[in-house]
Amino acid sequence: MSVIKVAILGFGTVGEGVYRTIQSHAQELEGVLGKRVEVAAVLIRNKHKKRNINEDVLVTADFNEILSLPQLDVIVEAIVNKEPTFTFLKQAIQRGCHIITANKEMFAHHGNELLELAKHHNVSVGYEATVAGGIPVIQTLRQLLNVNRVHHVQGILNGTSNFILTEMREKKQSFVDALSLAQAKGFAEADPTNDVEGFDAFYKTMILSRIAFGEEPNWEDVEREGITSITSELIEAAERLGLRFKHIASISKKGDQIKASVRPVLVGKSHPFYSIEGVENAVNVYTDLVGSITLQGPGAGMFPTASAAIEDLVYVCQNKLTKKYFTKTPAIHLRDKKEHEDELWIIQGLTKDYNNPLITWITQSSAETAIIRTNTELIKQLISEQNIKCCFQILGEFEIESNDKEVTLAAI
């Protein structure tokens, strides 16, 4: 076999990016693989739409036509939704094709089944493009994990939300205006629910959890909150305290339990995500040997995502992707906080006369907004009992300027 035959499922931003990159980087690919990479087929939905695809490529809306090609080595899947994608990929694996996917929703739901099936058929599954676009997060985590034990992973995994939060802070815009701008720029879909309600970040978080810890939490135990409740007033109040809102996914393991959340939090300037702005993504990994490593880069876009998919293409063709099924990692305890240690929270709607010995009032930045130190349990109780408008945790060090008192928190 002197040619590697590839089929691309979907010809949206990512699919087209993969197609164009295989053309433009043909020489590099041949240099690395010792074989020519050729796009044999593209699966599309609407046969009548005009596309810039070479005439010798099979362009079809019927997946069976692709499956019946005499030679087919790799399928790059860049569609949305779980079905019929999952069914297609199972069929492709059964035919003996390597699989590369950029579809986080499908992979979060069915990744384990696909990996199991691929193992059985002795092919590989690449999914670098499902998390953080062009940033090689998955391979880097795998490399670190050869030796290191992961303590926690946190990430800004949704560029759209980060763009909206940045616009709201920098340009003092409302959520609605910032969202419209994101839509106009092509960062957000017409229906932005997946991005702004945290579903997209949630799926990516579950995929990261499997890599970092070999397993994932029960999905229903994961706190998932989007950015729709964040007002420009809140952002301004935070700004005055030197804090910024970031939509952060975090995963850690305590004992035998994986804890994960995807939610807006406030970060101080010492936090590795304080300067991650606009559509950028970032992932921070804390391990026992290396300590804290942060990777930052474009989390989406035609060529960054295509690059991730094609890095996978190289690995599956070189047979270098670890075929190892996810294995559970032991829990490690690194500078762990005590179970009920207090955290800092910014809170709106709690009256100062509310008296509880477990709450320390740190500062009141406006008539309504206060910073308190307390534990998560009490916060849950307050939200259910009191007239709390909103409440967000603060991560990282920050300095309260009003009274020059430094509040230091480990950046977990």
Which positions are catalytic?
204
Tell the smallest beta-carbon distance from residue 119 to its own copies (Å). 17
- Binding status of residue 410 toward its own copies by CB under 8 A: no
Please select the residue that binds its own copies; options are 46, 146, 218, 403, rule is CB under 8 A.
146
Query: 296 Cβ partners below 8 Å, 6+ apart?
Result: 135, 276, 280, 281, 282
Q: Which of 38, 123, 311, 346 binds its own copies (CB under 8 A)?
A: 311
Q: How far is the CB of 292 from its own copies (least distance, A)?
A: 6
The one among 320, 328, 333, 380 contacting its own copies by CB under 8 A: 320
- With residues binned 3-state (H G I as helix, E B as strand, rest as coil), the percentages for the chain, rounded to 5, are 35, 25, 40
Query: Is the CB of residue 309 less than 8 Å from the CB of residue 100?
Result: yes
DSSP for 291-355? EEEEEEEE-SSHHHHHHHHHHHHHHHHHT-S--PPP-PPPP--SSPPPTT--EEEEEES--TT--
Closest distance between its own copies and the C-beta of residue 382, in Å? Answer: 34
With respect to its own copies, which residue has the nearer C-beta, 44 or 157? 157
Going residue by residue from 2 to 31, which x/- string records binding to its own copies, judged by CB under 8 A?
Answer: -------------------x---x--xx-x
292 is a contact residue toward its own copies (CB under 8 A): yes
| C-alpha torsion sign, points 50, 53, 55, 61 | negative
Distance CA 373, CA 173 (A): 30
Least Cβ distance, residue 266 to its own copies (angstroms): 17
Of 4-12, 77-85, 112-120, 297-305: span binding its own copies (CB under 8 A): 297-305
Tell how strand 291-298 and strand 343-348 pair up: unpaired
Q: What does the chain come to in residues?
A: 412
Contact between 279 and 298 under an 8 Å Cβ cutoff? The reply is: yes
Residues in touch with its own copies (CB under 8 A): 21, 25, 28-29, 31-32, 134-136, 139-140, 143-144, 146-149, 269, 272, 274-275, 287-298, 301, 303-304, 306-307, 310-311, 314, 320, 327
